[in-house]
Amino acid sequence: MSEREEAAAVGGQTTSAPREDGPVTTNNATLEAARDLIRREGAGVSSVADQLDETFLQVVDLLLHCRGKVFVTGSGTSGAVARRMAHLLAVCSTPAVFLPAMDALHGTMGAVVEGDVLITISRGGESDELNQLSQRVQARGVPVVALTAQPDSTLGRLADITVVVDGGSDVDPGGVVAMGSTLVASVWGDALAYVLMRLRDYSWDQVLFTHPAGAVGRLSAAPEQLPPLHPTEGDVAKEG
């Protein structure tokens, strides 16, 4: 069989053919498989707390002193994480925008200028479009933060700050389907947005002003203010 015929045969396989055997509604093995995945993902997420190190503080410092905007990029499921991270950063005091990597390579990277920061999310660190984008914005004087599980990857080596977060080998089925690894990257971004909000003493009134829609926008009173963080000597310094 030729390579083309083999590809056609594989591509022609369907994953959605209807099952003709009995229902799975009482199948305990199905429930246990789902629970096992959730437990493994939960363990991976919990491990991130102990992985926070000096690189986390370096990123906090970089973003506190950023005079422009923070762009966040990724491809595939990492792109979904990047979009979410940019949104939460913006909600929590840090001006941030999601930058689709392929659009950026077709000219949108012109929006990224000196004074900005790029956070690039890639579990494996070998996505060509992300690495090319990262190198080109660096050439424009923009620092690059890599969030990856592979510090020795192309992205890990080229970044100005390389943050390693790894939930373990069993959080992604087969090491191929990015499930738990996306949660691991997401929770790191949550922690980043949260501490930046507290370091800036960003008020709930400011959050609600920029979030007038939905149930949040209809709140009759702001939540109790989060206590501000006051960095001590040797930690990152608060802007201003």
Could you tell me the domains of the chain? Answer: 54-199 (3.40.50.10490)
What integer pLDDT is reported at residue 229 of this predicted model? 92
Residues 6+ apart with CB under 8 A from 133: 73, 99, 101, 104, 105, 109, 118, 120
Q: Which residues of the chain have pLDDT under 70?
A: 1-17, 19, 22-26, 232-240
Q: What pTM did the predictor assign?
A: 0.86
Query: Which amino acid is located at 214 in the chain?
Result: G
- Percentage with pLDDT > 90 across the chain: 72
What integer pLDDT is reported at residue 15 of this predicted model? 63
What integer pLDDT is reported at residue 240 of this predicted model? 39
What integer pLDDT is reported at residue 78 of this predicted model? 98
CA pair distance 117, 222, nearest whole angstrom:
31
What integer pLDDT is reported at residue 219 of this predicted model? 82
